[in-house]
Amino acid sequence: MYIDSAGNARTDWSQDGHLAAGVPGTVSGLFTSAKYGKLKFEELIEPAIALAEYGFVIMESEANSLNGLQEEFKKHNSVMPVFVKDQPWKAGDTLIQKDLAATLRRIRDKGEAGFYEGETAKLIVEEMQRGKGIISYEDLKQYKAAERKPHVFEYKSYTVVGMPMPSSGGLLLQQMMKMVEKHDIKSKGFHSPEAVQLMIEAERRAYADRAQYMGDADFFQCAGKTTFK
């Protein structure tokens, strides 16, 4: 999917634009986790609707960020978003997002179906088709967030709870912390060359393993089992 007719890897296709996009999971994730909260989703989403509908004043750093992304916004969108302006953004400008407000209202009124079906799904699929993406109505309708057990391990006298697969965060954190566990980092001094070198080497090895061995456990079975001692 990310190789051109000449056999060249097109990392630009895999990193930017419509073909790089997966089905958005945040909405399903929020509804899946809502059972652990106390407030109704309709109440939680109202401040976001108001901010989108009536806007908020941006800071200088936000203006600089939007200005720096103008060419990318124009390159990767078939319909220009509100982030694109003829004049540069500046501190004190108000960012209003009417389309986002409408999307949030559909989520408020219809729950997950307000995003993965109906008008919002139609808008997503139409944009995908214009930009040669592959997300379909069926992809959106069938999407469900998966609940997974956290990645838990022991480090010295602590129990560390991290993100589970397919996120690499929890597993890599365990690998790196176990590699440095026997070393007295504190005695080396904060940001000392010795302490920094130790962490760099642990991180370098962990990320090399990540690139070599790690995949989505639903689709990829590792050949062996690794233990960290």
Q: Which of the four pLDDT bands, split at 50, 70 and 90, describes residue 224?
A: very low
Hey, where are the domains in the chain?
Answer: 11-55+96-142, 151-213
154-198 pLDDT, tens per residue? 999 999 999 998 889 999 999 999 999 999 999 999 999 999 999
Average model confidence (pLDDT) across the chain: 93
| SS3 state of residue 201 | helix
pLDDT higher than 80, residue 128: yes
Tokens representing 220 are 């990829």
Cα angle 9-136-166, degrees, rounded to a multiple of 5: 60
User: Maximum Cα–Cα distance for the chain, whole Å?
Assistant: 60
Fold of the CATH domain 151-213: Serum Albumin; Chain A, Domain 1 (1.10.246)
Q: Would you state the pLDDT for residue 229? A: 45
To the nearest whole percent, how much of the chain has pLDDT over 90?
90
DSSP state of 9: B
Q: What is the pTM of this model?
A: 0.81
Question: Do residues 55 and 95 make contact, with C-beta atoms less than 8 angstroms apart?
Answer: yes
Q: How many angstroms from the chain centroid is the CA of residue 98?
A: 23
pLDDT higher than 60, residue 217: yes
pLDDT higher than 80, residue 36: yes
68-117 pLDDT, tens per residue? 999 999 999 999 999 999 999 999 999 999 999 999 999 999 999 999 99
DSSP state of 145: P
Beta-bridge partners for 151: 162
Q: Which of the four pLDDT bands, split at 50, 70 and 90, describes residue 222?
A: low
pLDDT higher than 90, residue 223: no
Q: Which long-range contacts (CB under 8 A, 24 or more apart) does 135-143 make?
A: 135/21, 135/22, 135/23, 139/23, 140/23, 140/115, 140/116, 141/116, 141/117, 143/23, 143/25, 143/28, 143/116
Q: How many angstroms from the chain centroid is the CA of residue 117?
A: 21
Q: Would you state the pLDDT for residue 219? A: 80
Q: How many other CB atoms are there within 10 angstroms of residue 149's CB atom?
A: 7
- Going by C-alpha positions, the residue among 190, 148, 196, 155 that lies closest to residue 175 is 155
Tokens representing 177 are 């912390």
List all residues 6 or more positions away from 85 whose beta carbon is below 8 Å from its beta carbon: 66, 70
Beta-bridge partners for 9: 3
Sequence length of the chain is 229
